[in-house]
Chain A
């Protein structure tokens, strides 16, 4: 028995070891490399191979003929377009505010849920707030169009009964963004709490017991134990979401209309109109997409740098 245990320990330490020549190490970890092959193939096919298409950003390209090399022509055109810069600033504004609200609400709701002692009630609440995440954006837009309808929506009926004027929320530049943020939170807050609830369950109860003995109340415990314990998770979720902020499309596309373009048009909806609605200007669309990815890369790098500053190490 002791012999077997010693052998296992030896094997484990041998696996952990990075010593030996490259060939020896490849041989040692051969099984892992074999298991990684499918991942590598998928990664190559769907992430690296499509990067070949980046070249079209530097061409005038339609599906019906050879691409003509125009250097940075598409980028020059892009940077000269006022519509593009509007879309760019809207993308950043809508995404960053949405991200901040997402963090605040998800962490807040997770903390509140953590306080629910009744298990069945907790599960019911969790199920109810997760559900909207599974509705498609088209359905969500339909629901809120009905609720916010100026003619027959419940919100406007209540407003009118209270003596206010009816508001066409989705065609009003002042109202569109708040409504957009509200709908996003309604749909995604519940789903966003999952990771934080999991992280909360990992905090040692000993810390709370010790704090309680020291006379800390609920708020102090939350402030000095729960939130610091969650900080790493919050940071990881923030960075992961920050990388995706340039990808905002569906939620805007189903809710925006021509009266609110100035506050709602984002890079993806702009690209869609340029590339898909009859122009076939794929070179230009690719340039827009490439620029968007470049900005996303900068944002990820920035977040990672921030993480390193705060935690002493980055996550990427």
Chain B
């Protein structure tokens, strides 16, 4: 069964999931014995497998032995994926050409951890919606990237310029100020920057800290509040649902929107260009002050009640990542003709196929995008025989180059209990700060006072003491 990352550590912790560490270690997939349709060895991106490893006190004796550390209770279905910041490329271009931005960049300026994230080939990527027959103007990434902000000051300059582009525009919006599940700071990356409103282990440390109580969080709140007060952030950011924020983007009421990379890059452009043929949503590299965050993958887990868990691992977990017929079945569906299958081969020898409309509605305008696993999010070198829209692959590549994978949160019954109250208080004080009901310093202080007991519980559960 598939288990999302909120539930996965819980299920594992309760002992409900089969420990598949050995099944994975001994598998043909792990040991390079599987070949894809082209005869190449199937290679997994193991960071996604590692992201699901959990340390838990299996015996419940209060001590974690080395054998209980980093055990695998679920196998990643696909990449966890995450959000990138989309900006209105047409607005950027217009303002840049009018000289209203005051900065201009070369692609070599956009770096993440010292590496350039945009290539010359990327400049040619076309963001026009190919399904819109009346919209034939090319929308090349290169036309917009030079005007993209590279640091927080430039980002604010861009938001201020967007505000003046037409009446009623709230430059940036999101579906809430804080996400409802980890990673909590997935949205509004430009404002959170290095602040992490969660319990996490800082680099170079082996102890958890409370990110909400760190000075970076006060700075993040100050940035959000200033943007809100200046009218750069949507006044309804607290009550927005994801659909509300999306609709505002399509209706050109907002110009910056942090949302999923991949399929949504295509969808955003498709729906935006239906309403405004000149509109274009382009994913922006992260500002130098920040990075994107990938959530842990959804896990394929086997319950401890399974009679043959090794068999389930072999024929579901491994088979669905075999780079050949199994992966084709799980991601692209059933081969067949129109009205019978999900895809058909164009030239099997050359590994070329085409997607069909769904068998249940063959007259539909939409082709089958996936059977179960999203093929564009595959975590091995799967040679997908069906071409994927360039906007999907481009946004995913940019995201992959500029993001870190968030670890699976540690979970016990006490942590789960404490986190319920902590999440409530945290969301409350952040929202009240932005609305001006309290200062960022007061917000953090109120959080620490009201969640004192729960924070203590978290520290004891996570670190074994109240440090």
Q: Which residues of A does B touch, CB under 8 Å?
A: 60, 62-65, 83, 145, 149-152, 166, 168, 170-171, 257-259, 261-262, 273-274, 277-281, 284
Contacts and interface: CB of A to CB of B under 8 A. Distances in A.
12 contacts: A83-B424, A150-B236, A170-B239, A171-B431, A171-B435, A257-B239, A257-B431, A258-B428, A262-B428, A274-B417, A277-B180, A279-B417
Interface residues of B, number: 33
Contacts of B417: 274, 279, 281, 284
Given A151-B170, A258-B430, 4 more contacts: A149-B236, A151-B234, A168-B435, A258-B431
Interface stretch (B3-11, B120-128, B149-157, B381-389): B3-11
Contacts of B419: 278-279
A277 B437 CA distance: 27
Contact of A258 (B170, B236, B238): B238
A280 B417 CA distance: 9
A57 to B, nearest CB: 16
Contacts of B432: 259
B13 to A, nearest CB: 9
Contact of B420 (A60, A152, A170, A277): A277
B236 A151 contact: yes
Nearest to A265: B424
Contacts of A261: 424, 428
A64 B235 contact: no
B236 A281 contact: no
From B10, B235, B437, name the one whose CB has the most chain A CB atoms within 10 angstroms: B235
Interface of B: 6-7, 10-11, 14-16, 168, 170, 180-181, 234-236, 238-239, 244, 253, 413, 416-417, 419-421, 423-424, 427-428, 430-432, 435, 437
Contact of A64 (B14, B168, B236): B14
From B180, B238, B430, name the one whose CB has the most chain A CB atoms within 10 angstroms: B238
Given A62-B413, A150-B235, A278 B435 contact: no
A62 B417 CA distance: 12
A131 B428 CA distance: 35
Which 6 interchain pairs have the tightest Cβ spacing? A64-B14, A258-B427, A279-B416, A259-B431, A64-B16, A150-B235
Contacts of B435: 168, 171, 259
A279 B413 CA distance: 7
B421 A83 contact: yes
Nearest to B181: A278
From A64, A273, A274, A284, name the one whose CB has the most chain B CB atoms within 10 angstroms: A64
B235 A258 contact: no
A261 B421 CA distance: 12
Given A168-B435, A258-B427, A261-B428, A273 B238 contact: no
Nearest to A145: B239
A258 B218 CA distance: 19
A149 B173 CA distance: 14
B365 to A, nearest CB: 27
Contacts of B10: 278-280
A281 B419 CA distance: 12
B256 to A, nearest CB: 15
A168 B420 CA distance: 26
Contacts of B431: 171, 257-259
From A62, A63, A64, A278, name the one whose CB has the most chain B CB atoms within 10 angstroms: A278
B417 to A, nearest CB: 6
Contacts of A280: 10, 14, 413, 416
B165 to A, nearest CB: 16
B420 A259 contact: no
Nearest to B304: A64
Nearest to A279: B416
A171 B428 contact: no
A171 B177 CA distance: 13
B11 A258 contact: no
B415 to A, nearest CB: 9
B424 A273 contact: yes
Given A168-B235, A170-B239, A257-B238, A152 B14 contact: no
Contacts of B239: 145, 168, 170-171, 257
Contacts of B424: 83, 258, 261, 273
B324 to A, nearest CB: 36
Contacts of A277: 6, 180, 420, 423
Contacts of A170: 239
A170 B236 CA distance: 9
Contacts of B11: 64
Nearest to B427: A258
B7 A278 contact: yes
A229 to B, nearest CB: 45
Contacts of B15: 64-65
A278 to B, nearest CB: 5
Contact of B235 (A151, A259, A278, A281): A151
A280 to B, nearest CB: 6
Contacts of B416: 278-281
A166 B435 CA distance: 13
Contacts of B238: 168, 171, 257-259
A246 to B, nearest CB: 21
Given A151-B234, A171-B435, A65 B7 contact: no
B428 A152 contact: no
A130 B131 CA distance: 44
A99 B413 CA distance: 38
Contacts of A62: 14, 413
From B6, B7, B428, name the one whose CB has the most chain A CB atoms within 10 angstroms: B428
Contacts of A273: 420, 424
A281 B168 contact: no
B87 to A, nearest CB: 20
A258 B434 CA distance: 12
Contacts of A152: 168, 253
From A62, A166, A259, name the one whose CB has the most chain B CB atoms within 10 angstroms: A259
A65 B13 CA distance: 11
Nearest to A83: B421
Contact of B14 (A65, A150, A258, A262): A65
Contacts of B421: 83
